[in-house]
């Protein structure tokens, strides 16, 4: 698999154009064949293809030591298995404040600590785009051994990127800051575990789950989205996971710094009827293979449902507020790149804006379209 293939830069208008998509099929995707499938399969059978494992120490003067902060994760049962273990990310610490608000800490694995930019592993991850969990095929963005090393596992010190978010009593984000940290998770809970503790709690520390739910409920109401049949644990996951996505995107937009915005228009396909008709006309008038036809519709669908761009085009589900993707570096490459951007530009203040603008622009296009390509290949 040629990990260094790149897609041409294009405007969002061009990216939604049928001719652009077809050109990508005939150009960038012309090499799709069984060899690429075999390469991916061989990858997960091999030993961890990391240049070298860093020796992480729980004593690091450049990181905030948050090992004494009560921290937990809540994961949907069975949704994130990898190898013989599980991936744990988006862990939470929650401290109520006297004004009815709270300080929410969202800790995300610092994958960049282990996977350096442009290393062999990084380039493979870039070419894959995201973990693929389909009926007849599964592969992971991170090799299982590396995923386990990065994962925020209970009782183990881990390097993380922490988002400290100030919430008011109405669930509004009032402030956000970012820093490198060391965390040691107290509990890796499933949604079932969390639900049980919230109903019959013998651990006083876990009583905080009820406070977390009350705040998550306020955050959801603020977005004018109903709770419906969602469980309390799932409401916490939903709201606390997107809080750093919303807060970080708003911060970068306010600062005028390049950022990979996640744009979408809701659960139903939002593209205009004339665009759908245009795709239909193209399919009717061109002699395409079955794979090309599937690929065209898949890429078109991905670009109109969820796509990344350095311009915030908004979304319907979240009231048009800017969104990012900061909490999934174990599964999505664009999330890893966003965390690198935060570390380089905001935390360390050493980054070059021009470099990141070029790199993020390319990733915005590659992630959306490569994920569509992979899903089509392995459906």
SS3 per-residue string spanning the chain:
CCCCCCCCCCCHHHHCCHHHHHHHHHCCCCCCCHHHHHHHHHHHHCCCCCCCCCCCCCCCCCCEECCCCCCEEEECCCCCEECCEECCCCEEEEEECCCCCEEEEEEEECHHHCCCCCCHHHHHHHHHCECEECCCCEECCCCHHHHHHHCCCECCEEEEEEEEEEECCCCCEEEEEEEEEEEEECEEEEHHHHHHHHHCCCCHHHHHHHHHHHHHHHHHHHCCCCCCCCCHHHHHHHHHHHHHHHHHHHHHHHHCCCCCEEEECCCCCCCCHHHHHHHHHHHHHCCCCHHHHHHHHHHHHHHHHEEEECCCCCCCCCCCCCCCCCCCCCCEHHHHHHHHHHHHHHHCCCCCHHHHHHHHHHHHHHHHHHHHHHHHHCC
Separation of CA 365 from chain center: 15
When pLDDT is cut at 50, 70 and 90, the band that residue 294 belongs to is low
Q: For the segment 90-146, what is each residue's pLDDT rounded down to a tens digit?
A: 999 999 999 999 999 999 999 999 888 888 788 778 877 787 666 555 667 887 778
Residue that is written with structure tokens 């404040």 in the block = 97
**Which residues neighbour 222 within 8 Å (Cβ) at sequence distance 6 or greater?**
170, 171, 172
Residue that is written with structure tokens 């610092």 in the block = 110
Specify if 7 maps to a domain: no
Specify if 305 maps to a domain: yes
When pLDDT is cut at 50, 70 and 90, the band that residue 304 belongs to is low
When pLDDT is cut at 50, 70 and 90, the band that residue 10 belongs to is very low
Specify if 6 maps to a domain: no
pLDDT at 28 over 60: no
Residue 135: its pLDDT value, please?
57
Tokens of 242: 């997107």
pLDDT at 371 over 70: no
- Which candidate, 139, 80, 20, places its Cα nearest to that of 377? 139
Residue 4: its pLDDT value, please?
36
Can you tell me whether residue 19 is helix, strand or coil?
A: helix
When pLDDT is cut at 50, 70 and 90, the band that residue 84 belongs to is very low
**What's the CA gap between 6 and 79, in Å, rounded?**
31
Q: Please give the average per-residue pLDDT across 265-293, as a whole number.
A: 62
- Round the average pLDDT of the chain to a whole number and report it: 77
Q: Who wins on pLDDT, 76 or 376?
A: 76
Q: Please give the average per-residue pLDDT across 49-58, as a whole number.
A: 59
Specify if 1 maps to a domain: no
Q: For the segment 150-175, what is each residue's pLDDT rounded down to a tens digit?
A: 999 999 999 999 999 999 999 999 99
pTM for this predicted structure: 0.80
Specify if 181 maps to a domain: yes
**What's the CA gap between 271 and 16, in Å, rounded?**
10
Residue 313: its pLDDT value, please?
79
**What's the CA gap between 268 and 285, in Å, rounded?**
27
Specify if 187 maps to a domain: yes
Q: For the segment 175-226, what is each residue's pLDDT rounded down to a tens digit?
A: 999 999 999 999 999 888 898 888 876 677 788 999 999 999 999 988 877 7
Specify if 132 maps to a domain: yes
Specify if 5 maps to a domain: no
Tally the domains of the chain. Answer: 1
> In which domain, by residue range, is 96 found?
12-377
Residue 224: its pLDDT value, please?
78
Highest mean pLDDT among 19-33, 67-81, 135-149: 67-81
Q: Please give the average per-residue pLDDT across 261-272, as a whole number.
A: 59
């Amino acid at each position: 698999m040629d990990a260094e293939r790149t897609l041409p830069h294009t405007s969002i208008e061009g990216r939604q154009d049928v001719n652009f998509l077809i050109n990508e099929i005939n150009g960038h995707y012309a090499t799709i064949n069984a060899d690429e499938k075999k390469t991916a399969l061989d990858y997960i059978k091999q030993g961890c293809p990391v240049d070298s494992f860093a020796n992480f120490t729980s004593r690091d003067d450049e990181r905030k030591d948050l090992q004494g902060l009560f921290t937990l994760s809540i994961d949907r049962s069975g949704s994130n298995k990898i190898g013989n273990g599980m991936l744990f990310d988006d862990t939470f610490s929650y401290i109520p404040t006297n004004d009815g608000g709270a300080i929410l800490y969202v800790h995300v694995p610092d994958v960049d600590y282990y996977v350096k930019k442009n290393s062999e592993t990084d380039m493979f991850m870039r070419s894959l785009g995201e973990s693929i969990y389909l009926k007849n095929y599964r592969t992971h963005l991170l090799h299982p051994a590396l995923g386990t090393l990065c994962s925020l596992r209970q009782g183990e010190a881990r390097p993380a990127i922490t988002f400290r978010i100030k919430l008011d009593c109405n669930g509004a984000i009032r402030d956000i800051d970012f820093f490198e940290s060391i965390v040691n998770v107290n509990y890796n809970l499933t949604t079932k575990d969390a639900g049980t503790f919230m109903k019959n709690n013998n651990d006083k520390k876990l009583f905080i789950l009820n406070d977390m739910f009350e705040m998550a409920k306020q955050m959801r109401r603020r977005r004018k989205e109903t709770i419906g049949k969602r469980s309390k644990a799932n409401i916490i996951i939903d709201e606390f996971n997107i809080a750093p996505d919303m807060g970080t995107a708003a911060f970068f937009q306010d600062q005028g710094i390049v950022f990979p915005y996640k744009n979408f228009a809701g659960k139903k396909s939002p593209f205009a009827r004339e665009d759908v008709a245009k795709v239909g006309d193209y399919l009717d008038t061109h002699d395409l293979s079955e794979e090309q036809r599937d690929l065209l519709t898949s890429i078109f669908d991905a670009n109109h449902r969820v796509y990344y761009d350095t311009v915030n085009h908004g979304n319907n589900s979240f009231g048009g507020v800017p969104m990012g993707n900061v909490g999934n570096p174990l599964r999505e490459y664009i999330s890893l790149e966003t965390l690198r951007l935060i570390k380089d530009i905001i935390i360390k203040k050493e980054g070059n804006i021009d470099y990141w603008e070029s790199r993020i622009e390319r990733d915005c296009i590659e992630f959306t379209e490569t994920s569509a390509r992979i899903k089509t290949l392995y459906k």
